A and B are shown apart, each in its own frame.
Chain A
Amino acid sequence: MILEALIAVAFASALVVLLSPNEWAGRLAFALSLIPFAGSLYLWSGFDGSGNALTGGDIAYQTQIEWLEVGGRSVSWFVGLDGISLPLVVLTTFLVPLAILSAWTPIDSRQSQFYGLMLFMQANLLGVFTALDFFLWFVFWEAVLVPMYFLIGIWGGPRRKYAAIKFFVYTNAASLLMFIGFMSLTFALGDSVSSFALPEITGAIADGGLGSFAGLAPETLAMAAFLAMFLGFAVKVPIVPFHTWLPDAHVEAPTPVSVLLAGVLLKMGTYALLRYNFTMLPEQASALAIPIAAIAVISVIYGAMLALAQKDLKRIVAYSSVSSMGYVILGLVVFTEYGVGGATFQMVAHGLISGLMFMAVGVVYNATHTRMVGDMAGMADRMPVTVGILVAGAFGYMGLPLMAGFAGEFFIFVGSFAAPALPYAPLFTALAMFGIVIVAGYLLSAMQSTLFGPFELATDYEVGPAPFHDVAPLAVLLAAIIVLGVAPDIFFEMIRDAAVPVVEGVSVDG
């Protein structure tokens, strides 16, 4: 029942903060958000799951209570953790308090609503990563969009309405496509399933339970469902060419919202891809290995090239997220333990690193009120600690060894280079790797012109060191990134354990 308690506490604290006065909403929200974090650490310490939750592994902290019946199938409150979801739960509960801290400075109106929405979003995110019943999961999945919409639309930059609506409509339309895909699968399964529980559905598909539906043969239907779900999740990830909502949303969103958007929300897409497309329909995934790997590589290179062309620091980090998510897709499609495990690890690593980058850029922005590369120079002179951490974070983004990003990327590369499931795997891997050169190019260029050289600022603000509560979350994040880079096994071991059954879903000869 501890998972329920965790989610319930998150919802309750959202309510409490919403009703609290603006003056201390920030502090209250921070204190309350530490409870789920402590809870997730407790979950971690007592974690006894093994294998993959969807393929009959031992699910930790499992609860399954029948809830209602839809169309002859039962919907249940079904939550639990395995080696893939636990790291993401920890990531979420870890990032939210830090994001709340980073909001203290920039958010100066309607604080109780802001922090309430942040906590509400956290509760739903926890739901997404723990739910094992499709309906339950879908409710949380959609409910995440609502607080995000308001967070961007109310506290965002000048084009916040455009960005918020674009984000909401785009991802919601994608959800519809995904929903159609998944429902057609469940209909095609007919009587071989009696509920919407994901493990049951996965098992039924693996046992060949798919029948024909709507005049489509089982193979055609499975492929169509795969494509529908892939496109649906591709928007969320986002994969090129469905990525254009992301830079707009990031640029307009206030810093703490960007942190959660890049840090956790994007991982929903890759998490769902892993759970639905690659675990449930591995045959279709490997039949489409070449096109999927191709768009993964395109995402990496194209995203990086776009980042190179940007002048707004936030846009740079936003596009580089597109690039980093491309690695995750590559890791998933190769179906090796290191590939799939590395992809999951990269989700966590990128969550931490992009969170750090957005936060650090935000702290600079708090001081300068501009994010444009040409508007400032030599910031290192005025805010040495912030800039120091920003530089370290940028190197983490470039994949500096002994930081989390390198571990994730390297696992993916090692897992994909010789992968039998993907034809021309070495070629795809080598092409994707070129991203590490471009990422160094644009981050170093941006840092050189904004952080170094003689101090210069287009406007004449007094710029001094950032307050402690701005710098502290940066330092904590950096420490986490380094710890995870030096000892990736603290997550990788359980992730790999959960990835093994996924890999075994694909039989490759030779």
Chain B
Amino acid sequence: MIDVFSYVPAIVLLPFFSFLIALGAGKYLPKGGAFGGVAATAGSFLLSLWVLATVAGGGAVNRTIYTWASAGGIGPTDVELSFGILIDPLSALMLVIVTLVALLVHVFSLGYMNDEGETGLPRYYAGLGLFTASMLGFVVADNLLMAFMFFELVGLCSYLLIGFHFREPGPPSAAKKAFLVTRFGDYFFLIGVVAVIGTFGTAQFAGPESFPALADAALNGSGSVAWTPGGVELQTWLTVVGLLILGGVVGKSAQFPLHTWLPDAMEGPTPVSALIHAATMVAAGVYLVARMYGFYALTPTTLAVIAFIGGFTALFAATMGLVKDELKQVLAYSTISQYGYMMLALGAGGYVAAVFHLTTHAFFKALLFLGAGAVIIAMHHNEDMWDMGGLKSEMPVTYVTFLAGSLALAGIFPFAGFWSKDEILYEALVHAPGEPLLFGGYLMGLLAVPVTAFYTFRMVFLTFHGEPRSDTARDPEPVRWNVKGPLAVLGSLAVVTGLINMVPVQKVLGLEGIDLLHRWLDNEWGGIAGLSSHHYADIGPYSSQYIVGGEVATVLVGAAVSLGLALTGLLVAWQLYNVPSPTEHTAKLGGIKDVLYNNYYLDELQVWLAYRTEDVAGGADTFDQGIIDGVVNGVSSVSLIGGDRIRQVQNGVVSQYAALLTLGLVALIVLLGVTGGWFL
């Protein structure tokens, strides 16, 4: 039997080779090296499917494959830093999602970049390849350090791709912002990594010697950790460590307050946005929390914070999405908001729900971005929705698939997003009693539902319905198979992905076994001990309470409320914008409109902070040049001036030299006389 897991590194390396090929030889290859990328991601996708099948057949692996730095002392203990692969149901699923989305994005890029005559294609495909490889390396990582390293590489790739159009002023600035803001989060993440290694002497995710297992054992008294900072209790310290690592998650997954980079990142080419939002960079943060959920489940405070941040971000970002004029901007805020839901789920103990939403969101958000890309091609790169309108008759494939994605995003039954979002809200609801932060998160998540539906359909109606509002909208550029193909694939996935986890149906109708994802993540087919949803529930702080009667009633009421709210939002959008020539209704919002339009002035705040930092730096420079270097130069000046004064004695008049000599002699004699006692 072939050991499929020995091919796992190939999943990562194939896109990496496509990066090397595109970088080195892209300009000599047809399509700027695109086919290499397509072939590589297709290969990775097939291998991932094989891995998925193997995991379904009971296989799983946690294996160190490369020693990065040999064992050495760090004070309390010795550590060895290594790379390895961890393949369990979660990472196998994620591999498939990432490789599939990457493959489709590569294909779509043929239409979006090549057919549009962009320059610098080798650089583009090299970036895509490296991006995919980094994300895949992150997904298979078996320890926190390796995860951090690929996490950072993902950040680099986002920088390179967001700033792809470097000859314009906007993209380099957006790229810088994306890297800097996420770097700020990664600073805390890095402290967290170092703290984990210092505390446990290992950064492994899985196994009996992994840090979640050690933390668990130490907390229930059956083990101990290598080190905690003096005077800090273990529980408190673990919470601190958890929050530190969360810093990186908040940065990459664009949660409040580090979400500001993501809307700016729309400066990148649209397929890149699809990749960033659906399957790579932004997903990385949430995936990280899921990956080390065994650790987070041990610290209730961290979970509550995660839930609250998530719920808040979900609502906060959704409100900003209400007033945006540009297609991709709306999608950007929807991404922030949807990842807020995933964080809410994770904080609420809904590990499976979060992974479920991660999966469905990957498909429908990739779909929406690629659909937006198709629209942008059609509109000759004009993204303003007020110049669109009436596109549905001109581009039916795009319209239908985009609509499917929108329905999923808005959480309308029976599209994928409905099931996952419903499960998140359900998990939050049943775990919320007695947890004020979690309950707050739940309420905000619930409030965000109608807002989401509203802005989603405002976007749909403005783009595709009504009368065309510009010449390009009347005569859009047609798109080819390489655009429609990916849309079709993702469109069908957006419709059916919900089927993998029919928990409400199971509970209401009593059908056993259709909660496939639950069983999948519970290692029912195979997996690694200590990495199952049951284990997480066991060590987690939550117990379910049904505030509205029994379980079934809660399920039904919860689903009905969220669906009702979503439909309300949809209907309002229908009323306002599904008219032949819609108008802006934002004036009714009054002052709030400006606040929303300016993103609550958070960008201004961050820019202000950046400028103040520069002021401090300028002050430091003045201090350095004036005081510190001043002292150095002062010492030199004193010597120079002193020397200059003293040498004036050397005036060239021989008589004076003689006089000085005589004086010196007399002084010497007097001195000798006084000390020798001649004059006594």
Residues of A within 8 A of B (CB): 166, 169-170, 240-241, 243-245, 302, 305-306, 308-310, 334, 336-339, 341, 378, 380-381, 395, 398, 400-402, 406-407, 410-411, 413-415, 417-421, 425-426, 429-430, 433-434, 436-437, 440-441, 444-445, 447-448, 451-455, 487-489, 492-493, 496, 499-500, 503
Which of B62-70, B363-371, B390-398, B532-540 lines the interface with chain A?
B62-70
Q: Compute how far the CA of A336 lies from the CA of B150 in the bound complex, rounded to whole angstroms.
A: 26
Q: Mark B326-369, 1 if CB is under 8 A from A, else 0.
A: 00000000000000000000000000000000000000000000
**Given known A337-B73, A415-B75, contact A433–B190 (CB-CB < 8 A):** yes
Instruction: Identify B632's interface contact among A170, A380, A413, CB under 8 A.
Output: A170
Residues of A within 8 A of B600 (CB): none
Say yes or no: A454 contacts B168, CB within 8 Å.
Answer: yes
Q: Compute how far the CA of A261 lies from the CA of B183 in the bound complex, rounded to whole angstroms.
A: 30
Q: Compute how far the CA of A430 lies from the CA of B179 in the bound complex, rounded to whole angstroms.
A: 20
Residues of A within 8 A of B616 (CB): 305
Residues of B within 8 A of A310 (CB): 621
The list of the 5 closest CB pairs from A to B, nearest first, reads A418-B198, A401-B149, A452-B172, A309-B621, A308-B617
Say yes or no: B150 contacts A414, CB within 8 Å.
Answer: no
Say yes or no: B69 contacts A489, CB within 8 Å.
Answer: yes
Say yes or no: A453 contacts B152, CB within 8 Å.
Answer: no
A-B contact list, 30 entries, CB within 8 Å: A169-B636, A245-B632, A305-B616, A305-B620, A308-B617, A309-B614, A309-B618, A337-B72, A380-B167, A381-B167, A401-B148, A410-B190, A414-B74, A414-B197, A417-B74, A418-B199, A420-B75, A421-B75, A426-B198, A426-B229, A429-B194, A430-B191, A433-B187, A436-B187, A448-B176, A451-B172, A453-B166, A454-B167, A454-B168, A488-B68
Say yes or no: B75 contacts A395, CB within 8 Å.
Answer: no
Q: Compute how far the CA of A420 lies from the CA of B145 in the bound complex, rounded to whole angstroms.
A: 22
Q: Compute how far the CA of A231 lies from the CA of B198 in the bound complex, rounded to whole angstroms.
A: 32
For the complex, is B184 an interface residue (Cβ under 8 Å from A)?
yes
For the complex, is B163 an interface residue (Cβ under 8 Å from A)?
yes
Count of A-B contacts judged by CB separation below 8 Å: 169
Summarize A's interface: helix, strand, loop or mixed.
helix
Q: Compute how far the CA of A433 lies from the CA of B199 in the bound complex, rounded to whole angstroms.
A: 18
Say yes or no: A453 contacts B628, CB within 8 Å.
Answer: no
For the complex, is B629 an interface residue (Cβ under 8 Å from A)?
yes
Say yes or no: A244 contacts B229, CB within 8 Å.
Answer: no
**Given known A310-B621, A418-B74, A489-B69, contact A437–B183 (CB-CB < 8 A):** yes
For the complex, is B79 an interface residue (Cβ under 8 Å from A)?
yes
5 new A-B contacts at CB < 8 Å, known A338-B74, A402-B149, A418-B75? A243-B628, A401-B149, A401-B153, A448-B173, A448-B175
Report the minimum CB–CB distance from A507 to chain B (whole Å): 13
Report the minimum CB–CB distance from B460 to chain A (whole Å): 35
Say yes or no: A306 contacts B617, CB within 8 Å.
Answer: yes
Residues of B within 8 A of A (CB): 67-70, 72-76, 78-79, 81, 145, 148-150, 152-153, 156, 163, 166-169, 171-173, 175-176, 179-180, 183-184, 187, 190-191, 194-195, 197-199, 226-227, 229, 610, 613-614, 616-618, 620-621, 624, 628-629, 632, 636
Instruction: Identify B180's interface contact among A302, A413, A441, CB under 8 A.
Output: A441
Residues of B within 8 A of A380 (CB): 166-167
Residues of A within 8 A of B190 (CB): 410, 413, 433, 436
Say yes or no: A305 contacts B617, CB within 8 Å.
Answer: yes
Summarize B's interface: helix, strand, loop or mixed.
helix
Q: Compute how far the CA of A243 lies from the CA of B627 in the bound complex, rounded to whole angstroms.
A: 13
Report the minimum CB–CB distance from A90 to chain B (whole Å): 18
Report the minimum CB–CB distance from B164 to chain A (whole Å): 11
Residues of B within 8 A of A448 (CB): 172-173, 175-176
Instruction: Identify B68's interface contact among A166, A241, A418, A489, CB under 8 A.
Output: A489
Instruction: Identify B183's interface contact among A306, A425, A436, CB under 8 A.
Output: A436
Say yes or no: B172 contacts A496, CB within 8 Å.
Answer: no
Residues of B within 8 A of A243 (CB): 628
Report the minimum CB–CB distance from A380 to chain B (whole Å): 5
Residues of B within 8 A of A415 (CB): 72-75
Instruction: Identify A453's interface contact among B70, B167, B610, B629, CB under 8 A.
Output: B167
Report the minimum CB–CB distance from A332 to chain B (whole Å): 14
Q: Which residue of A lies closest to B148 (CB)?
A: A401
Q: Which residue of A lies closest to B227 (CB)?
A: A418
Residues of A within 8 A of B166 (CB): 378, 380-381, 451-453
Instruction: Identify B194's interface contact among A308, A341, A413, CB under 8 A.
Output: A413
Q: Compute how far the CA of A499 lies from the CA of B71 in the bound complex, rounded to whole angstroms.
A: 13
Residues of B within 8 A of A437 (CB): 180, 183-184, 187
Q: Compute how far the CA of A406 lies from the CA of B173 in the bound complex, rounded to whole angstroms.
A: 24
Q: Compute how far the CA of A426 lies from the CA of B76 in the bound complex, rounded to whole angstroms.
A: 13
Residues of B within 8 A of A454 (CB): 167-169
Residues of A within 8 A of B67 (CB): 489
Q: Compute how far the CA of A305 lies from the CA of B623 in the bound complex, rounded to whole angstroms.
A: 11
Report the minimum CB–CB distance from A281 to chain B (whole Å): 21
**Given known A309-B620, A433-B187, contact A406–B70 (CB-CB < 8 A):** no
Residues of B within 8 A of A452 (CB): 163, 166-167, 171-172
Q: Which residue of A lies closest to B184 (CB)?
A: A437
Residues of B within 8 A of A381 (CB): 166-167
**Given known A436-B190, A452-B166, contact A244–B628 (CB-CB < 8 A):** yes
**Given known A169-B636, A308-B613, A413-B194, contact A492–B70 (CB-CB < 8 A):** yes
Residues of A within 8 A of B197 (CB): 414, 417
Instruction: Identify A433's interface contact among B169, B179, B191, CB under 8 A.
Output: B191
Residues of A within 8 A of B629 (CB): 244
Instruction: Identify B156's interface contact among A400, A445, A487, CB under 8 A.
Output: A400
Q: Which residue of B lies closest to A381 (CB)?
A: B167
Report the minimum CB–CB distance from A221 to chain B (whole Å): 27
Residues of B within 8 A of A436 (CB): 183, 187, 190
Instruction: Identify B75's interface contact among A341, A400, A419, A499, CB under 8 A.
Output: A419
Q: Which residue of A lies closest to B232 (CB)?
A: A426
Q: Compute how far the CA of A420 lies from the CA of B149 in the bound complex, rounded to whole angstroms.
A: 27
Say yes or no: A414 contacts B179, CB within 8 Å.
Answer: no
Q: Which residue of A lies closest to B620 (CB)?
A: A305
Q: Compute how far the CA of A395 lies from the CA of B72 in the bound complex, rounded to whole angstroms.
A: 27
Residues of B within 8 A of A407 (CB): 68-69
Say yes or no: A417 contacts B195, CB within 8 Å.
Answer: yes
Residues of B within 8 A of A492 (CB): 69-70
Say yes or no: A336 contacts B632, CB within 8 Å.
Answer: no
Q: Compute how far the CA of A341 lies from the CA of B79 in the bound complex, rounded to whole angstroms.
A: 13
Report the minimum CB–CB distance from B3 to chain A (whole Å): 24
**Given known A417-B195, A445-B176, A496-B70, contact A453–B617 (CB-CB < 8 A):** no
Residues of A within 8 A of B81 (CB): 414
Q: Which residue of B lies closest to A436 (CB)?
A: B187
Instruction: Identify B198's interface contact among A309, A337, A414, CB under 8 A.
Output: A414
